[in-house]
Structure 1
Amino acid sequence: MAASALVRLGAVFLLFAAQVACEYGMVHVVSEIAVPRGKDYCILYNPQWAHLPHDLGKASLLQLGDWSSSLLCSPSDLPAGGFSNQIPLVARGNCTFYEKVRLAQGSGARGLLVVSKEKLVPPGGNKTQYEEIGIPVALLSYKDMLDIFRSFGHKVRVALYAPSEPVLDYNMVIIFIMAVGTVALGGYWAGSRDVKKRYMKHKRDDGPEKQEDEAVDVTPVMICVFVVMCCSMLVLLYYFYDHLVYVIIGIFCLASSTGLYSCLAPCVRRLPCCGCRVPDNSLPYFHKRPQARMLLLALFCVAISVVWGIFRNEDQWAWVLQDALGIAFCLYMLKTIRLPTFKACTLLLLVLFIYDVFFVFITPFLTKSGNSIMVEVATGPSDSATHEKLPMVLKVPRLNSSPLALCDRPFSLLGFGDILVPGLLVAYCHRFDVQVQSSRVYFVASTIAYGIGLLVTFVALALMQRGQPALLYLVPCMLVTSFAIALWRRELGAFWTGSGFAKDLPQSPWAPADSPQPPRDSDGPCPQQPPGEEQAKGPLSTEQPPEPSASEEEGAAGPAQEPRSRAPSAPECVGQDPASPSPTTQPGISA
């Protein structure tokens, strides 16, 4: 009995899944006069009326009868010759779908297309009515009908079919590579930059303008405020989407152009050209006399952002710019925001874990429409008047030809939060790796854990065929992995509290083994020694006055020609008074 019940339950589940997967279909349109390449349009049909073939080659190519001015609700609406061997196109309204399709089938129609100016809904009816009808009936949008007649004329042939949906689209591979690559690169960059700054006493200067950005340490209070702001903004977007979506688009343009500038600036500074500075002036920002190449870079980044903002709805290519700007934005945020302890990482990830699950799985029980607030906002409400989409996602068009790609979700999406939040943990792991000299075992393990969690998310998406909260799978994978590595290496206490980060270590990973001084930036001034280190460094400089320090030789553009003649610059730099001017020339320093 139990086995029989399970079998029946499984059959019902498979039947329900098949109906849901086959609600979307395609109508293939070709012209009767010319023979250009045909085009597919989205249709919404009910498989209980009649099934559609899965292959276009097995579908009959029939003449489309343009009766869009008729409602086909009474026999008087039928043409004199009927619909012999045709697929009539009629308007929606005034009667049920059953009445329309019954009249069409009785007049010899091989199918029925109902044009709708409203949102497409599956045509339904009673169970007894399904048994009477043997031709397919589907809804076509009014916009698609106008495009058909504009592109092919009124003498066209159509074929109705519904290809099977692939289990997983190939665009998931592209999203996986972009997401894992961004997390790995951002975590490595942020960790290396943060650790290097711990050995520097001053930020890097390029003349009068400061080039490095100060990192922001995240506190528990900031985490709570951030989560409250996220919840409030999500709810506001759900109720006032058409008004706030343009605010989000503007913020994205500004933030993404800043992120792109931050990512490209280190490369542009290495260029040998356009290094001249603007003349002295009193204009805002320009009074710092920025370099010409940095101004050109800023104009380029703003131009890219403006181009995307203007052509953001061009589905053919605008998604490439959006993904590039989004990756730059994520890298910039990973470089700027810093979690100081694993305790802070755990708090942030667990709070956002609850936030993600609540707004995806719990809110459908709280909304009148029964839809998830998170999915509605991410994909754009179906009743939105602007039809705008939020840009805070990585998006890649579906590569498989399917009704789902043509009708409902032409893009696969991954939110920036699913990259930034795990990326902050990866950055912390890399910083801890460098400090305890663990050969980046925490960084590699956390990056692999992120990739595994993302793969589990894709599998859940394919099995459930609905939007998934990625943090539901990413957070356990990454937290458990990081915790296990720290426990295995017996460093859990230091890893939890961040006590492995010493403020002043005797040895820098960027300096050679025989260097007694911390490294300094090649473009910045000489670091000043704290009071506790002046006496320790003094005897060393007096014992070896002729030889320049190793830290001064590091980062040099070329070897010094006369090191002994320039040796006095070394003790002069180490013991330099803060009020005294810095030397005008330094050996081997690259511009």
Structure 2
Amino acid sequence: MAAVAAAALARLVAAFLLLAAQVACEYGMVHVVSEAGGPRGKDYCILYNPQWAHLPRDLSKASFLQLRNWTASLLCSAADLPAYGFGNQIPLVARGNCTFYEKVRLAQGSGARGLLIVSRERLVPPGGNKTQFDEIGIPVALLSYGDVLDIFRRFGRMVRVALYAPHEPVLDYNMVIIFIMAVGTVAIGGYWAGSRDVKKRYMKHKRDDGPEKQEDEAVDVTPVMTCVFVVMCCSMLVLLYYFYDFLVYVVIGIFCLASATGLYSCLAPCVRRLPFGKCRIPNNSLPYFHKRPQARMLLLALFCVAVSVVWGVFRNEDQWAWVLQDALGIAFCLYMLKTIRLPTFKACTLLLLVLFLYDIFFVFITPFLTKSGSSIMVEVATGPSDSATREKLPMVLKVPRLNSSPLALCDRPFSLLGFGDILVPGLLVAYCHRFDIQVQSSRVYFVACTIAYGVGLLVTFVALALMQRGQPALLYLVPCTLVTSCAVALWRRELGVFWTGSGFAKVLPPSPWAPAPADSPQPPKDSATPLSPQPPSKEPATSPQPAEQSPEPCMPEEMGAGAPTREPGSPAEPEGQDQDQAQPCPVAQPGALA
């Protein structure tokens, strides 16, 4: 036991030291202005180690010094120093061939007030030991090679720079926008999916009026489908981590196609209400057009494809392309919530718990398995820093940071929320709404689960602010939504039917009406008890019956006890109508099973 405890303590100390090393690395800014006046100054990202020297938190307290371009030298020996030194300058040198300490020691000895090291590779914090930290009194930071080229192109060779590191805000205001979009998508998608599913159960015996009113069938998720889905997610995530530059374009293409389909599905109900554009295209034998769609629906499809193509072409325009991506992403999530259906709370629990473990593993466990010590989930979601394409995965809601902070400039200019953090809890919200309607519970499950999702998202934001690193949102969303749903079911004493989904297939109470034969819309003539007394006149059996003697129609068992029946006084259906419509049922014989 003592050996096990010692090993656990050693791991804890190692993790603490790793965390301390990460905290020592900080992002800062270098503000560049031209000595000749020229364009307005601009900030560039730097990565520095505060153990060398602290930077001022405010630009007004930072000193503007001349930047000396000394990138032709590595500054690893005294021979690399200029003849007259770096008096009150900040030299810009190349990275390589010697340690950061050797470079900054030579620079400080030559009168430099700071040191900027140009890196063509990934920025790493300039490290050292405690003795070296105490010896050096000037700041040292790394600047990317691309930013150096932009500085000289924009401002010329004669520039002045100031190094500073403003405080990072605890939370950015863009979190409010993400919160509204996420909770709104879950609420609208869950409400729409639940209402649509129940309506289809009630109206499944009705005949569609045309091809344009045919809706996609919902897909029930089975345990086997859940396992296959999780295995596919794991495989795709690992493949993206190792072959990101190749597979990112596949994901972008899939997103364009899926988002166009989702946008069409969301806008189609609104377009069908328009009073114009109802004319159909002429008869043809072309694929997808042989059903003669309406002109307005064809124009809608073209519009959705055009929006998706515009995003695909201008996806890297950070100023406005994120608006299109979020709109297409929300439409895609709504479409998926409407199409995918969890039939029982047992299926909901299985899916959410498996993805809960999946999220934790790829965020918190994989840093101990990768050579770089980075999380596979965070690397793939934000895009690897060494990616040659510089492409980002579109399967996220993204909102630019609304503050001018080093983190916004250097590491993550956008705040992200993955589609999975919306879809997975959203499926549970949709299930709760369907169950609410079936048991007539005034939508208490739906409201409680939606509020729990919002609370879980707020907890995610708080954890993000405290830890200052990417968080697996399902770590907080899954317990909030599952526990809340269970608590409501226990409070209402409906956990059994809520767990099995049996509220969707309630057995009707015993009725004196026996089911009518499928091939005989009329009651048998030898029935002991007639369906209703016939008037003296010899009218056909299909004539309307008096309101007070209207028979009760047979209801399919799967429609539930709450299914609407035909109102009394409605005329009987003509004999020539479809057999799948509700028909009057004859009274059972005395002693016969109802």
* Alpha-carbon shift at residue 15 of structure 1 (Å): 13
Q: 1:49 aligns with which of 42, 47, 52?
A: 52
SS of aligned partner of 2:290: helix
What is the aligned counterpart of 2:451 among 440, 448, 452? Answer: 448
TM-superposed deviation, 1:340:
1.0
CA RMSD of aligned residues (A): 3.0
Residue 68 of structure 2 is matched in structure 1 by 65
**What's the secondary structure of 1:37's corresponding residue?**
strand
1:39 equivalent in structure 2: 42
What is the aligned counterpart of 1:205 among 199, 204, 208? 208
One-letter amino acid of the counterpart of residue 342, structure 1: F
Q: Within the alignment, does 1:262 sit opposite 2:271 as a pair? A: no
- Is 1:273 the equivalent of 2:276? yes
Matching residue of 1:192: 195
Task: Describe how 1:572-591 pairs up with structure 2 within 5 A.
Answer: 573=573, 575-578=575-578
Post-superposition CA distance 1:76-114 (Å, at most 9, x none): 322233221111111122222222212221221111111
Give the TM-score normalised by the residue count of structure 2.
0.84
Q: Which residue of 1 aligns with 2:87?
A: 84
Output the CA distance in 1 between the equivalents of 2:531 and 2:44. Answer: 80
- TM-score between both structures, scaled by the size of structure 1: 0.84
* Alignment correspondent of 1:308: 311
Q: Secondary structure at the match of 1:262?
A: helix
Aligned partner of 2:338 in structure 1 is 335
Q: Which residue among 434, 437, 441 is the counterpart of 1:434?
A: 437
Secondary structure in 2 aligned to 1:287?
A: coil
Q: How far apart, CA to CA, are the structure 2 residues paired with 1:336 and 1:537?
A: 45
Instruction: Find 2:461's aligned residue among 438, 450, 458.
Output: 458
What code does the residue aligned with 2:308 have?
S
Q: Which secondary structure state, in structure 1, belongs to the residue aligned with residue 67 of structure 2?
A: strand
Secondary structure at the residue paired with 1:288?
coil
Distance apart, 1:416 and its partner CA: 0.7
Distance 1:479 1:389, change over 3 A: same
Q: Which digits, 9 at most, give the CA deviation of each residue in 1:164-186, with x for residues without a partner?
A: 11111111111111110000000
Aligned to 1:422: 425
Aligned length: 531
**Are 2:143 and 1:132 equivalent residues in the alignment?**
no
C-alpha distance 353-83 of structure 1, shift in aligned 2 (>3 A): same
C-alpha displacement of 1:407 = 0.8
Q: Note closer, same or farther for the CA distance 1:467–1:16 as it changes in structure 2 (3 Å cut).
A: closer
Q: Does 1:145 align with 2:148?
A: yes
Q: Which of 162, 167, 176 is the aligned partner of 2:165?
A: 162
Report how far residue 493 of structure 1 moved.
1.4
Q: Find the counterpart in structure 2 of residue 405 from structure 1.
A: 408
**CA 1:314/1:192 → structure 2, altered by over 3 Å: closer, same or farther?**
same
SS across alignment from 1:41: strand
Mapped contact 2:521–2:575 kept (Cα < 8 A): no
Q: After superposition, give the CA deviation of every residue in 1:272-325 in whole Å (9 maximum; x if it has no partner).
A: 222211001010111111111111111111111111111111222111111111
Letter in 1 for 2:502: S
1:110 paired with 2:113, answer: yes
SS in 1 for 2:121: coil
Which one-letter code corresponds to 2:577 in the other structure? D
**Which amino acid in the other structure matches residue 204 of structure 2?**
K
Say if 2:544 and 2:572, in contact at 8 Å, map to a contact too.
Answer: no
**Structure-1 separation of matches of 2:22 and 2:194:** 50
For 1:483 and 1:153, locate their aligned partners in 2 and report how far apart those are by CA, in whole Å: 65
Distance 2:504 2:454 in 1: 27
CA distance in 2, matches of 1:88, 1:397: 33
Gaps of 5+ in 1: 1-8, 507-527, 550-568, 582-591
After superposition, give the CA deviation of every residue in 1:348-402 in whole Å (9 maximum; x if it has no partner).
1111111111221222222222222211211122222222211111111111211
- 3-state SS of the aligned residue for 1:64? strand
Give, as a single letter, the amino acid of the residue that structure 1 aligns with 2:309: V
8 Å Cα contact 1:209-1:288 kept in structure 2: no
Instruction: Tell me by how many angstroms 1:69 deviates.
Output: 1.8
Identical aligned pairs, as a percentage?
84
Instruction: Pick the structure with greater CA Rg.
Output: 2
Give yes or no for contact 2:30–2:44 (8 Å, CA) kept in 1: yes
Q: Structure 2: how far apart are the matches of 1:531 and 1:282?
A: 36
Q: Separation in 2 of the partners of 1:136 and 1:122?
A: 12
Aligned residues of 2:25 and 2:125 also touching (Cα < 8 A): no
Distance in structure 2 (CA, Å) of the matches to 1:205 and 1:21: 66
Contact 1:66/1:88 (8 A) holds in 2: yes
Amino acid aligned to 2:497: A
Name which of 163, 176, 179 aligns with 1:176.
179
Q: What are the ranges of 5 or more consecutive residues in structure 2 without an aligned counterpart? A: 1-11, 510-515, 524-528, 533-542, 553-568, 582-594
SS in structure 2 at match of 1:391 = coil
Q: Is the 8 A contact 1:50 1:136 kept in 2?
A: yes
Counterpart residue identity of residue 140, structure 1 = L
Matched, 1:375 2:378: yes
